[in-house]
């Protein structure tokens, strides 16, 4: 979170200041990358590069506070994702999305901290990672944007270009799936 300095950082970034662009990137990139990872996008780093380039290209037209900016960046990411899905849909031989989130996350290949491994282990043992993998792409998007990116329902609706009622419905269904899985897991223990 950039906080009070956000307006100045934004203004400097809009003027092409390299440090300000770096600051916006540092702030946004983990979430954007996380969003693309949560969608099971295999080459999420390349897609993320396109998102950030598009962000810079349209930065001059953005007006708003930091929360709006976060939502705006996710809007770009979602559009890029939809475009890429459409493009890859015509060439299905190229692997784009995978249901194996662990493969996308790259955890276990070294380089990650112990915190990440422990978190992954908890998600695995609770059965929630598997439940997340079984969610539809829309449900996964809503779950991530609500729980991880901390966007409000209206911001999610804007980012996904869906009505708020649809977002709420997706969120309820995703929660029901995860809760059911938790209950099954607890009942099995």
Q: Using CB under 8 A, list all residues that contact other proteins.
A: 14-18, 21-22, 25-26, 29-31, 33-35, 37-38, 45, 48-49, 52-53, 55-57, 59-60, 105, 107, 111-112, 115-116, 118-120, 122-123, 126, 128, 143-144, 146-148, 171-172, 174-176, 178-179, 182, 186
Q: How far is the CB of 46 from other proteins (least distance, A)?
A: 9
Region of 57 please: left (phi>0), alpha (psi -120 to 50) or beta: alpha
Q: How far is the CB of 20 from other proteins (least distance, A)?
A: 10
CA distances from 185 to 56, 90, 121, 127, 178 (A): 45, 39, 15, 7, 10
| Residue with Cβ nearer other proteins (146 or 158) | 146
CA distances from 171 to 74, 150, 153, 161 (A): 17, 13, 9, 15
Closest CA to 126 of 183, 175, 173, 174: 183
| Residue with Cβ nearer other proteins (14 or 152) | 14
End-to-end CA distance of the chain: 40
| Residue with Cβ nearer other proteins (89 or 122) | 122
| Residue with Cβ nearer other proteins (92 or 110) | 110
Q: State the Cα torsion 63-69-74-79 to the nearest 10°.
A: 10
Number of neighbouring beta carbons within 10 Å of residue 90:
7
Q: How far is the CB of 108 from other proteins (least distance, A)?
A: 11
Q: How far is the CB of 176 from other proteins (least distance, A)?
A: 8
Q: How far is the CB of 90 from other proteins (least distance, A)?
A: 25
| Residue with Cβ nearer other proteins (8 or 45) | 45
């Amino acid at each position: 979170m950039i906080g009070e300095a956000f307006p100045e950082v934004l203004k400097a970034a809009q003027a092409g200041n390299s440090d300000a662009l770096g600051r916006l990137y540092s702030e946004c990139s983990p979430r954007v990358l996380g969003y693309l990872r949560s969608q099971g996008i295999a080459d999420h780093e390349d897609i993320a590069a396109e998102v950030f380039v598009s962000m810079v290209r349209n930065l001059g037209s953005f007006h708003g506070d930091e929360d709006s900016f976060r939502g705006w960046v996710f809007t770009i990411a979602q559009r890029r994702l939809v475009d890429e899905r459409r493009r890859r849909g015509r060439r299905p031989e190229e692997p784009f999305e995978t249901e194996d989130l662990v493969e996308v996350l790259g955890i276990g290949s070294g380089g990650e901290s112990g915190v990440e491994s422990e978190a992954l282990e908890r998600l695995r043992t609770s059965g929630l990672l598997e439940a997340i993998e079984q969610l539809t792409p829309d449900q996964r998007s809503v779950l991530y944007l609500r729980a991880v990116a901390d966007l409000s329902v209206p911001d999610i609706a804007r980012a996904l270009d869906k009505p708020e009622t649809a977002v709420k419905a997706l969120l309820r269904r995703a929660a029901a799936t995860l809760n059911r899985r938790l209950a099954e897991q607890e009942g099995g223990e």
